[in-house]
Amino acid sequence: MSDDEADPELLALLRQSLGLSTSHPPPATTAVLSSAEHISDHSIDVALSSQDTVTAAHTIRQLMREKAYSPKTWATHELHPKTKDEGTVNFIFTMDLLNFCFWSEREAEQRFAVEYRGRKWTGYWSLVAALQRALDEGIPITTPDYWWDEDRCTLQVLQHVFRSATDEAIPLFDKRVVCLREAGQILHENFSSTPLALIEQSNHSATTLINLLADSFPCFQDESHFHDRPVRFLKRAQIFVADLWACFEGQGWGEFHDIDAVTMFADYRIPQILHTLHVLRYAPPLESHIRQLKPIAHDHPWEIQLRGCSIWAVELLRREMRRQEPGLDVNAVLIDFFLYDTMKEMEAKGEEGKDGGKGDQAVIPHHRTRSIWY
């Protein structure tokens, strides 16, 4: 060390004597991405194709550009809220609190559907339609204090809110009621009965808000175990942050300085389209099981691999898209939204099916797991 160089040990002692920190705390993490990498590294039933990831990244990048796909696309969906106020924050929180398990074993015309604005809505959109319909009818379904007031928010009222246009009721209705009651009570006791308090406590950090949701609300604790360690997915906690970011276009209540830390949301639609793009490959027993529409139990190794490998695949797609186009402003949230919308378009065109006469080349059905997590 030359005479002109400061002695690092002396500097550390000086900082300590002055009460200054000599180290910086590590940045907060949700552990979702590291969990996904761990799952991918140890997966034997789901594999990622590096070559097809490169091809898919190019395709997705081109299609997103052609469609001018951006966070603003979120608000263009007919049923999503258009205002940017506290009511919209409450709507998004309610929506993502209940955003799980809409698939049906029945034929398309017989599955749970919500009639609203002159048409029938299914899947995720059936939930959004039910909430909008209830608000139109004067039912304060997105007000947290209402959820745990069982004198006003009775079981009969909730059955009316989620009434179906078919003979099939909304899946897991009883569990949705539990989520509403529990979340309303927790918000009342700890967060002034408003999701805004959660956002304010997060100080514009997506990671902090996600962890706060997972730590405070049992129904957001989307976790499991794989290969001798705990793993986290936190699908609905992450999508709450993502929906805020997209709805408010990264401003105000939707401003998060670390939005790029949010991963893809591990559900049953993104694995489906990643398989269609050949980014994901399934072992023959798993692929046969899915094509035969057989259920997969929650926490089964197959389910964990499907979810974890999908998260890691989207992360690799994001990196490859940025490698192909340096400076490209894209994150896992936007890729997830785009892939989900694309898969739903394919479904609407009838391109999803068991074999469709095309054998293994057909769009594989989504896997079937009954769960409140997605």
In angstroms, the CA 364 to CA 354 distance is: 6
Question: Is 243 a residue of the active site?
Answer: no
* Residue 282 CB neighbours (<10 A): 22
In angstroms, the CA 216 to CA 168 distance is: 33
pLDDT computed for residue 357 by the predictor? 39
In angstroms, the Cα distances linking 34 to 24, 75, 154, 236, 262 are 21, 31, 42, 18, 12
pLDDT computed for residue 355 by the predictor? 45
pLDDT computed for residue 28 by the predictor? 80
In angstroms, the CA 225 to CA 18 distance is: 44
pLDDT computed for residue 15 by the predictor? 55
Q: Using an 8 Å Cβ cutoff, are 177 and 155 in contact?
A: yes
C-alpha dihedral (212, 215, 219, 224), degrees to nearest 10: 120
Give residue 353's pLDDT band: very low, low, confident or very high (50, 70, 90). Answer: low
Q: What is the mean pLDDT of the chain?
A: 92
Choosing from 96, 243, 267, 336, the catalytic residue is 267
pLDDT computed for residue 344 by the predictor? 87
| Beta-ladder partners of 295 | 368
Give residue 259's pLDDT band: very low, low, confident or very high (50, 70, 90). Answer: very high
Q: Using an 8 Å Cβ cutoff, are 33 and 217 in contact?
A: no
pLDDT computed for residue 348 by the predictor? 79
